[in-house]
A and B are shown apart, each in its own frame.
Chain A
């Protein structure tokens, strides 16, 4: 399923909303999650899962083409942990 298919399904569920409104709702949903993670906070959607960020330490990486060492800064990366109900639903 891709984003446009999700918008289409939601539109079918809600014929009183315009496609533009549905598209905005989907955008708000996902952008709110990203914005919150960017602020260093957690997002918890019970039953579905939780989004958080994890710290990565600075390290010396390599340019894969030349093999030259390059400094990689310490940074945070997004992480998702599926909820219990979700995990159960995938294995029925």
Chain B
């Protein structure tokens, strides 16, 4: 893996290359395409739901008054759209299991 602990685009492309046998270049392009389609749907204001993985949910925030934490000066915060991710139960379960396995390995 490229970097010690962080998974990146390159690692996803390598996984596709290794499992499907698609060329490295084509695998990298597929990774970009997946991200592009996710991004385009969200930009259009569509939520994205990937079964077994989770949902990307858009939320519209109203305008509110914020404060510069350094100066204490009030500044208006414009209404904006934010993106949240809600993991599927399957992902949550796998992470809890992974945690437990790591805990047992550490204790042994």
Contacts and interface: CB of A to CB of B under 8 A. Distances in A.
With most chain A CB atoms within 10 A of its CB, the pick from B34, B38, B42, B51 is B34
B94 A91 contact: no
Interface residues of A, number: 49
B53 A87 contact: no
B64 to A, nearest CB: 15
Contacts of A1: 37-38, 41, 46-49
Contacts of B20: 21, 24-25, 28
A60 interface: no
**B contact residues, range:** 35 or more
B50 A3 contact: yes
B83 A39 contact: no
Contacts of A24: 19-20
Given A6-B34, A41-B5, A90 B98 contact: no
With most chain B CB atoms within 10 A of its CB, the pick from A17, A29, A33, A86 is A29
A76 to B, nearest CB: 5
B7 A86 contact: no
Nearest to A9: B37
Given A10-B30, A24-B19, 20 more contacts: A3-B52, A6-B38, A29-B31, A37-B95, A39-B102, A40-B98, A41-B5, A43-B7, A44-B6, A47-B35, A48-B38, A75-B96, A76-B95, A77-B95, A80-B84, A82-B82, A86-B39, A87-B83, A90-B42, A90-B81
Query: 3 smallest A-B Cβ distances: which pairs?
Result: A38-B98, A80-B85, A1-B41
8 contacts: A1-B38, A1-B49, A3-B53, A32-B7, A45-B8, A49-B83, A77-B95, A91-B81
